[in-house]
Structure 1
Amino acid sequence: MSVNREIELKGTIRSEHLGRVKDLPAIKKRTVGRAKSKKLVTVYFDTPDHALRRLGLSLRVRKVGRAYVQCVKQAHKKLGGILVRTEWEGPVPSQDPAISVIEDKALRRQIRRVGVEHLQPVFRTDVQRSSRTLKFDDGSTASIDIDVGDILAGDVSEPIGEFELELETGAPERIFELASEIGKAVPFRLAALSKASRGYAILTGDGPQPQKYVKVKLAKDATVEQVLTELVQHCLDHLQANEAVALTTDDTEGVHQMRVALRRLRAALRLFKPYLPRDQYGWAITEAKWLTGELSAARAWDVFADEFVAPVARLYGEDQGFDALMAAAEQARQQGRQRARDAIGTERYTEFLLHLSAWLSSQAWRDQPVTERTTRLLDPIGDHCVKLLQKRDRNVRGQGRDIANLSETALHELRLAVKRLRYAVDFFESLYPKKQAKAYRRHLAGLQDGLGYLNDVAAADTLLRELALTGGDQAAPVWAHAGGLTVGWHRHAAIAAKDRLVEDMAAFLRAKPFWRGA
């Protein structure tokens, strides 16, 4: 059974557009030889409790003509936006799995440990595949498979309509460039889920779930360049992991987590700004800000409805116009969600993902004059993260010393400074003893929560004015009294919140930065 390192990019396309892909000039001019078409019936195996899935493995047997091919896949990190998997593939005599033919002893042991006797078919895919071999001007080669068919799990099925670009030799960025050319002619979305993942989702009935940010564990000997790549990729993964939630559900966490991913992405890029070409940095920040802006309305109305109006409505009951206020806020929230979904569905969003992923995989920041500053990209990260943390720590301390007397504008600026420091701490704290970082991070979290609440209180007036404008020429909306009660209640609560914030800042100013003496 052969072992391959599979580097692929997958795009989902509406069925009416699939036939156009193979005829695109971008495909035709790179096609080598004749196209091939074949029927593929693939059965996926697992235990009743899906033990292989929990190990990050997928086991399938595919019928191709009269032959059977067994494949085991193990997902690894992404390279840019390309999923990199290790794949073990080889012929087997029948539709049943044959674990003994797997040459990798460790993998055989993993599968046998879950109980080969418990393996059973869990779902299958029926696909008509059209394949072409591609050759690029620089000699890189790839294949494109266009799949049309169905995933079947029990009595439920879902259609498959996708293309898959797989690198065979050469530079991964060629795949991104081709995908970008395809996207200019045929709209598509980058697929976040494999066929196996989709099959399990159908089988279990699990809908998309929001994914929170998971902290990166950096290697102590990593270079500045390696950390830049890992942090930006991690933020991209976080962003894409929450797409489906934002697109297909009303779960408020989907949009919220996408915004968190974008804020962290901008923070990561800002950390390494001195080492990046100005035009590359400017493009990435501009596009991230655009997308953040398109998602912001949905998040603002989520917070207003759930965290501002709802608690006050429970206190005052139903006779103060709160039903009307909640209805108006819900309408604005739905409009915000639609705006977010529209943005995620645009060519601009897909191009943002492709362009940023190509930038990562090609290390495009190296395309600049070699200077003393740019050579620092190859320095160990430990030589730089202390300076990066110290700079942001000084900003917070300097802006926060007189926090009791700061204006709303100054508090907003302080909130942004605290966020930038918090993200930098999250990025780098794995390089330091956990206990040392914990107390410092706890102080930051308290500051961020308090400043965030004061910012939301300040924004509530603006949101109410927006609601009033949607009501036309009426003198006062029916929810005006409820709106006044809501803002008044939170302004009163903000007084106590400000007092706590002063105490939290005093505690932070006394705290010793965890990176000192490390």
Structure 2
Amino acid sequence: MTQSKREIERKYEPPSGGVAGLPDLTGVGPVASVTTAGPEELDAVYHDTEDLRLAGASATLRRRTGGPDSGWHLKLPLGGDTREEVWAPLSDEVPESLRELALSRTRGAELRPVVRIRSTRTVRQLRDAEGRVLAELSLDEVRADAAASGGGRAEWGELEVELAEGVHAGLLDAVEKKLRKRGIVRADSPSKLVRALRETGAEAGAERCPEVVAGSPGAYVLAYVREQAGRLVSLDPAVRGDLPDAVHRMRVTCRRLRGCLRSYRSVLDRRVTDPVRAELRWLAGELGVARDQEVLGERIGAALARLPDELVLGPVAARLRVWEVSHGGEVRSRTREALATSRYLRLLDALDALVRQPPLRAGAARKPARTMARAVLKEYGRLAGRMELALAQPAGRSRETALHEARKAAKKLRYAAEVARPALGKPVARLGERAKAVQLLLGEHQDAVVAQDTLRELAVAAHGAGESAFTWGLLHGLERAGAEARHRELPEVWRAAADPALRAPLGH
């Protein structure tokens, strides 16, 4: 059993004089009163891999006794002051549920104790006029010991301010303003663990990476790869938890990485990146089954809801629901199975190695205006060729296939422009936006084509069960008309993207 919550907190250096040095926070925003609790004795053993992969990803895993929430805690960063905290009951070993949620960061490496942190905590609770807790100020006296024999010891004081669930984050700013007036400033360490590792000597030495010239194509491409690889890792727990839109975002991240590694082969050696691209394609394919199922079910359900009641003949909604359930369980299982494979972990290892030891080519050190503009224009040329072929095709499967290939080319151009935007600015951003417009229109066309195939299958199944197939046929016709409408809009949208003025600043 696990429980999850969002934790929003900030850490500060302790006030001189301890609790007596804290300002009176009554009247700050909705704070009507301040109550005191404690002291509490907390004893936490933090676990990590030998090379501290969790700490390197700003995540923590601890077994803590004392206080109201004794148990195992896994904290995952969500950006800014916010983290996802997952709690599991006390046990001797790391709970399998938390081990799985940390897997994208540990990549299967063994977890072991790295540091023990004991704290004596005094708590002040900020309450509103109805007595509800809005936030807690925790003043800790901290003692840290490295887990390895012969490790060091450190002691320090720390102040934490944590919001209660559902309280607006603006209260943190108001409290901080009051603290600053007393000379209480932010702590220079984001967590107790980071400070404990540093001050006890348990911190691993940083691996030296090849020097990358600031402002070079190599710097821009690696920044993009690092961001997307980090996003892939961060989305893993959300996909495992079947959270809304998580599969879609992970799939898009795979595509962005693939596109970047393809477009910028002049920067990163394809002998290293092509195998990574192949594995990203595999993962996106496994994720795509679940995503396509979700999108298709939502599309057909929305179209059905728009029909007048007199045009809905037979148990249409029930049949659609059976289709969604029968296909949904299967595809979700496939996604979880993919994330449990050693192949997936090897892909994460490869991405980590790519960021730490990038296979830079000569183009990585050239001027970005030349190298990156050339890569973007090359992708534009591929799109132009696909569009010319697609627009020349007669109606039918060959045209649908050609339009689908053009959509993929538009996506590659859009992602290549994303990578180059920090270097080339507004001109490449405008081209990327026009490519996105082409991609979205072709995506609508492709969704309508796929929906037609599924609606035909549903109609055949309904007919075989002795039900009316009228409504399924009607929906099929609407999707077919929609696909034709998108095709008629395409020339105008493409003309806007193909405007030579967009490419002129890039050297066209």
Q: TM-score, length-normalised on structure 1?
A: 0.59
SS of structure 1 residue aligned to 2:367: coil
SS of structure 2 residue aligned to 1:40: strand
2:377 corresponds to 1:377: no
- What CA distance in whole angstroms lies between the structure 2 residues aligned with 1:27 and 1:250? 27
- Aligned partner of 1:424 in structure 2 is 416
Q: How does 1:285-300 map to 2 (within 5 A)?
A: 285-300=277-292
2:453 corresponds to 1:389: no
- Aligned partner of 1:497 in structure 2 is 486
1:73-101 alpha-carbon deviations (Å, 9 max, x no partner): xxxxxxxxxxxxxxxx9744x67679xxx
SS of structure 2 residue aligned to 1:497: helix
2:441 corresponds to 1:450: yes
- The residue type paired with residue 505 of structure 1 is W
- What CA distance in whole angstroms lies between the structure 1 residues aligned with 2:477 and 2:275? 42
Conserved? CA contact 1:325–1:479, under 8 Å: no
1:283-328 alpha-carbon deviations (Å, 9 max, x no partner): 2112111111111111111111112332233214353443134213
Q: How does 1:9-88 map to 2 (within 5 A)?
A: 18=94, 38=116, 40-41=118-119, 61=140, 63-64=142-143
- Aligned partner of 2:320 in structure 1 is 326
- Aligned partner of 1:245 in structure 2 is 238
- Aligned partner of 2:225 in structure 1 is 232
SS of structure 1 residue aligned to 2:439: helix
- The residue type paired with residue 452 of structure 1 is G
- What CA distance in whole angstroms lies between the structure 2 residues aligned with 1:330 and 1:486? 17
Distance 1:16 1:338, change over 3 A: farther
The count of aligned residue pairs is 371
- Which structure is larger by alpha-carbon Rg, 1 or 2? 2
- Aligned partner of 1:336 in structure 2 is 331
Deviation at 1:493, TM superposition (A): 1.4
- What CA distance in whole angstroms lies between the structure 2 residues aligned with 1:238 and 1:391? 27
SS of structure 1 residue aligned to 2:56: strand
- Aligned partner of 1:405 in structure 2 is 392
- Aligned partner of 1:487 in structure 2 is 476
2:305 corresponds to 1:309: no
- What CA distance in whole angstroms lies between the structure 2 residues aligned with 1:419 and 1:110? 44
- What CA distance in whole angstroms lies between the structure 2 residues aligned with 1:60 and 1:8? 26
- Aligned partner of 2:205 in structure 1 is 168
Q: How does 1:95-106 map to 2 (within 5 A)?
A: none
- What CA distance in whole angstroms lies between the structure 2 residues aligned with 1:307 and 1:231? 33
Conserved? CA contact 1:308–1:490, under 8 Å: no
- The residue type paired with residue 289 of structure 1 is R
Conserved? CA contact 1:43–1:60, under 8 Å: yes
- Aligned partner of 2:464 in structure 1 is 475
- Aligned partner of 2:56 in structure 1 is 8
Conserved? CA contact 2:441–2:486, under 8 Å: yes
Q: Looking at both structures, which has the greater relative contact order when contacts are Cα pairs under 8 Å and sequence separation is at least 6?
A: 1
Distance 1:479 1:91, change over 3 A: farther
1:411-448 alpha-carbon deviations (Å, 9 max, x no partner): 111111111111111221233343x4555344322211
SS of structure 2 residue aligned to 1:168: coil
SS of structure 1 residue aligned to 2:142: strand
Distance 1:274 1:17, change over 3 A: farther
- What CA distance in whole angstroms lies between the structure 1 residues aligned with 2:315 and 2:273? 48
Deviation at 1:488, TM superposition (A): 1.6
2:263 corresponds to 1:271: yes
- The residue type paired with residue 352 of structure 1 is L
Conserved? CA contact 1:440–1:511, under 8 Å: no
The partner residue of 2:179 within 108, 111, 115 is 115
- The residue type paired with residue 299 of structure 2 is E
Deviation at 1:274, TM superposition (A): 4.4
Conserved? CA contact 2:369–2:424, under 8 Å: no
Distance 1:488 1:42, change over 3 A: farther
How many percent of aligned residue pairs carry the same amino acid?
22
Distance 1:433 1:377, change over 3 A: closer
SS of structure 2 residue aligned to 1:503: helix
- What CA distance in whole angstroms lies between the structure 2 residues aligned with 1:65 and 1:506? 64
2:496 corresponds to 1:507: yes
Distance 1:468 1:172, change over 3 A: farther
- What CA distance in whole angstroms lies between the structure 2 residues aligned with 1:60 and 1:382? 52
Structure 1: gaps (5+ residues)? 50-57, 67-88, 99-108, 120-126, 134-141, 144-165, 174-218, 367-373
- What CA distance in whole angstroms lies between the structure 1 residues aligned with 2:125 and 2:500? 51
Deviation at 1:495, TM superposition (A): 1.5
Deviation at 1:281, TM superposition (A): 1.9
Distance 1:404 1:377, change over 3 A: closer
